[in-house]
Amino acid sequence: MKAIAIFPKTHEVKLIDHEEPKITTPTQVKLRMLEVGVCGTDKKITSFQFGTPPAGSEYLVIGHESLGEVVEVGPEVRDIKPGDLAVMVVRHPCPHEYCRACRMGHQDFCFTGDFTELGIKEAHGFMTEFVVAEERHMNLMPRELRDVGVLTEPLTVAEKAIAQVWQIQQRLPWIDPNTSAQMRGKGLKAMVLGAGPVGLLGTMVFVASGFETYVYSRSKVPNPKADLVEEIGGKYISNETTSVEQLAEQVGNIDLAFEAAGASQIAFDVMRVLGPNAIFVFAGVPDHTVPIKVDTALLIRDHVMKNRAVLGSVNADRADFEAAIRDLGVFKQRWPQVLRSLITGYYPIEQAPQLLLGSAGGIKNVVTL
């Protein structure tokens, strides 16, 4: 069957013939892949910054943002049947008994580093025709979300972030843990850095949680992403025309910042103007560039004096996937056009190498199978 693979030794990215997988345990499910999203991580893998084939293989099948349709199930599969749509989790647990994170199903917090990530680290991914995996690594997707289901995985980045933020902010004695999800951001301001797919999906999450939400990104207005932000109910501000100091003056206290672009200079600039008790979440991975100068003493002083928390967040657990699927339903009701327009291009698998190696514009490009 067809697959897109990278060959780290020869630095090739190409369409290959890959052996079709078979169900080998009673609890496995076989999926026909429908769509696979392409993101910055894939670009880093196809430019050989990272990405590791499984042991014994000279290549890695890439793709981790999946949407598939079930074609076959093992005899002990209970909750999934042929015809169902499903999205797969990306990270699988490490084998170590002492890794409490993995043993509890929270491999996104694995502390041994010996986890695998499908399409990224030591396990083949989804940019291929069929995939077999254990039922417990799949999340069911309602049929009515077929057209946007491939956005689940990028959405989990923001879902994990907000779940963490909510837990951490329980430190504030006046926060009522029983507040409904839609009211948690009421009266608070969120600042999203970057207007790529994760930034825009994050904007939806924060607006839907009641935050007054701003997006601070490069392109000057007017631009199509700024229009999307406004349609979601956020406010777009360009960092080309508004300095961080002007931003702080315009917005007032920032309670939550979500960095989804991997832009390190802007991140540290915005960190300077966070409000009291604020949280800054790093979710983007920057390219390694020349070091920048930061006034560390000032930054530390302000973090101490204002009780701020800085958090890194990677990957997602099952609850985050479930939250993402639930929220896609909410977003589809609330912003049907905007949600659809996040997917800006569909490419057949034969064209995937050009897509991965080129500089296709748009927001989220998707490989169809």
Q: Which part of the chain contacts Zn ion (CB under 5 A), choosing from 18-26, 38-46, 181-189, 336-344? A: 38-46
Q: Which is nearer to Zn ion, 37 or 353 (CB)?
A: 37
120 scored as a contact of Zn ion (CB under 5 A): no
112 scored as a contact of Zn ion (CB under 5 A): yes
Q: Among 6, 13, 39, 257, which residue interacts with Zn ion (rule: CB under 5 A)?
A: 39
- What x-and-dash track marks residues 169-208 binding Zn ion by CB under 5 A? ----------------------------------------
With b for 16 or more beta-carbon neighbours within 10 A and e for fewer, the 327-341 pattern comes to bbeebbeebeebbeb
315 scored as a contact of Zn ion (CB under 5 A): no
156 scored as a contact of Zn ion (CB under 5 A): no
Q: How far is the CB of 114 from Zn ion (least distance, A)?
A: 6
Q: Among 94, 127, 266, 349, which residue interacts with Zn ion (rule: CB under 5 A)?
A: 94
Q: Among 99, 157, 328, 367, which residue interacts with Zn ion (rule: CB under 5 A)?
A: 99
Spatial CA neighbour of 283 closest among 121, 115, 124, 164: 164
265 scored as a contact of Zn ion (CB under 5 A): no
Say how far apart CA 276 and CA 255 lie, in whole Å.
Answer: 7
150 scored as a contact of Zn ion (CB under 5 A): no
Q: Which is nearer to Zn ion, 90 or 138 (CB)?
A: 90
70 scored as a contact of Zn ion (CB under 5 A): no
Count CB neighbours of 22 within 10 A. 10
38 scored as a contact of Zn ion (CB under 5 A): no
Count CB neighbours of 244 within 10 A. 16
Spatial CA neighbour of 159 closest among 116, 121, 123, 208: 208
Q: How far is the CB of 92 from Zn ion (least distance, A)?
A: 10
116 scored as a contact of Zn ion (CB under 5 A): no
307 scored as a contact of Zn ion (CB under 5 A): no
Residue 338 Cα distances to 161, 198, 214, 224, 242, angstroms: 22, 14, 17, 11, 25
Alpha helices, H only, the chain: 40-46, 100-103, 152-168, 197-208, 224-232, 244-251, 264-271, 296-305, 318-334, 336-341, 352-357
Count CB neighbours of 165 within 10 A. 23
Q: Which part of the chain contacts Zn ion (CB under 5 A), choosing from 98-106, 184-192, 311-319, 349-357? A: 98-106
110 scored as a contact of Zn ion (CB under 5 A): yes
Q: For residue 335, what are the contacts with CB-CB under 8 A and spacing of at least 6?
A: 204, 231, 232
Q: How far is the CB of 103 from Zn ion (least distance, A)?
A: 8
CB burial of residue 258 (10 Å; 0-12, 13-18, 19+): buried
Q: How far is the CB of 64 from Zn ion (least distance, A)?
A: 6
Q: How far is the CB of 308 from Zn ion (least distance, A)?
A: 28
209 touches 258 (CB < 8 A)? no
Residues making contact with Zn ion (CB under 5 A): 39, 41, 65, 94, 99, 102, 110, 112
